[in-house]
Amino acid sequence: MQNGCATPWFGSKGAMTTRPVHTRLLIIGSGPAGYSAAIYGARAMLEPILIQGLEPGGQLTTTTEVENWPGDIEVQGPDLMVRMESHAASVGTRVLSDIISELDLSDRPFVAKSDSGTHYTADSVILATGATAKWLGLESETRYRGFGVSACATCDGFFFRGEDIVVIGGGNTAVEEAIFLTRFASSVTLVHRRDELRADRILQNRLFANDRITPLWFHVLESVEGTVDPLAVTGVRVRHVKTGTISEIPCKGVFIAIGHTPASQLVRGQLETHMGGYVVTRPGSTETSIPGVFAAGDISDYQYRQAVTAAGMGCMAALEAERFLAESGPA
């Protein structure tokens, strides 16, 4: 990994400016989508530059055991991401420690400016900036995050076999996660701040038909309760939004499912987005509304949000970028 510092140079008028760094393929983001795109892009001799951003390795560096990455029965998230970085670098990707602050997609070559002051120009761009789960912002929620509090049922549901679980939220994600969690949990309480779900009707019907799920209307999470040594959840305190009455629900797992924020600020107003900022891609593809710009992983995926799907989309994006460059030539 190198620093993304640009070399100073003297332009035609003699004033010192910053030499733009040009690449055929600029990959923004260093999660599974970005590194997989980099491996495929480098092996296609596109000599990609990958910008790591503020969180080198992406979301998986914030977790411990990952049990659904094919080929590893169990792997620590940070270890997996270090391996992905060295794989991407070993096949010829320039992995740079930098953050893109502006991206101009109005013309090719596309222009990206970074926090280090570097200007990157690129014949094609893969956006792999991911997404972040929304949290309620409670101190106790933060304390038990990773120790009973999670925002990903697919990732962590397996750890709560035979336990009581609480899910917070009333949208599609909350309802899907509540239904999914009944595969493991003995009971699921869905805590929602209103008495009406935002989720699609078909999902609501499945939820109401599932006798392991109990909805708790007009309630919000007040605090997560638990032990300190070991750090573990024992229950939650919830507050009725109208009466203020506090109740306690014993549980071992708390899933916060109040939405995600896709990291698409760089392309707002430039690319088509939907569902609260997810970049729209052509069905079955990673092509965005601008030719030569591709989006992979959680920035465009509101449905699966998994490491393996992000990696698969990264692969697709690199193959599509390669085809685009072959057909369109350099900018």
- Residue 293, C-beta contacts closer than 8 angstroms, at least 6 positions apart: 105, 110, 124, 125, 127, 267, 271
Residue 155: active-site member? yes
Identify residues 6-25 at the interface with ligand FAD (CB under 6 A). Answer: none
Q: How far apart are CA 79 and CA 81, in angstroms?
A: 5
- Least separation in angstroms between residue 208's CB and ligand NAP is 16
| Burial class for 294, CB neighbours closer than 10 Å (0-12, 13-18, 19+) | buried
Residue 315: active-site member? no
Nearest-CB residue to ligand NAP? 171
Give yes or no for residue 152 binding ligand FAD (CB under 6 A).
yes
Binding mask 20-49 for ligand FAD (x = CB under 6 A): --------xxxxxxx---------------
- Residue 111, C-beta contacts closer than 8 angstroms, at least 6 positions apart: 20, 103, 104, 119, 120, 121, 122
- Least separation in angstroms between residue 189's CB and ligand FAD is 22
- Least separation in angstroms between residue 267's CB and ligand NAP is 18
Is the bond leading into 56 cis (omega within 30 degrees of zero)?
Answer: no
245-281 CB burial, b ≥16 within 10 A, e <16: eeeebebbbbbbbbbbebbbebbeebbebeeebbbeb
- Residue 171, C-beta contacts closer than 8 angstroms, at least 6 positions apart: 197, 198, 199, 257, 258, 259
Q: How far apart are CA 317 and CA 293, in angstroms?
A: 9
CB closer to ligand FAD, 129 vs 281:
129
CB closer to ligand NAP, 85 vs 298:
298
Binding mask 86-115 for ligand FAD (x = CB under 6 A): -------------xx---------------
Name the catalytic one among 79, 107, 115, 156.
156
Q: Which one of ligand NAP, ligand FAD, none interacts with residue 325, CB within 5 to 8 A by kind?
A: none
CB closer to ligand NAP, 79 vs 222:
222
Identify residues 215-254 at the interface with ligand FAD (CB under 6 A). Answer: none
Determine the Cα angle at 167 with ends 161 and 171, to 5°.
130
Q: Which one of ligand NAP, ligand FAD, none interacts with residue 250, CB within 5 to 8 A by kind?
A: none
Binding mask 250-289 for ligand FAD (x = CB under 6 A): -------------x--x-----------------------
Sign, CA torsion 9/10/15/19: negative
- Least separation in angstroms between residue 303's CB and ligand NAP is 5
Binding ligand FAD (rule: CB under 6 A), the pick from 59, 124, 264, 273 is: 59
State the DSSP string of 201-247. HHHHHHHHH-TTEEEETTEEEEEEEEETTTTEEEEEEEEETTT--EE
Q: Which one of ligand FAD, ligand NAP, none interacts with residue 33, CB within 5 to 8 A by kind?
A: ligand FAD
Joined together, the tokens standing for residue 168 give 């917070």
Residue 152: active-site member? yes
Contact positions vs ligand NAP (CB under 6 A):
136, 169-174, 176, 193-194, 198, 220, 258-260, 275-276, 302-303
Is residue 26 classed as helix, strand or coil in its secondary structure?
A: strand
In sequence order, which ranges of 55-171 are alpha helices (DSSP H)? 77-90, 139-143, 153-156
Q: Which one of ligand NAP, ligand FAD, none interacts with residue 176, CB within 5 to 8 A by kind?
A: ligand NAP
Interface with ligand FAD by CB under 6 A: which residues?
28-34, 51-56, 58-60, 62-63, 66, 68, 99-100, 128-130, 133, 152, 155, 263, 266, 297-298, 305-308, 310
Active site residues: 152, 155-156
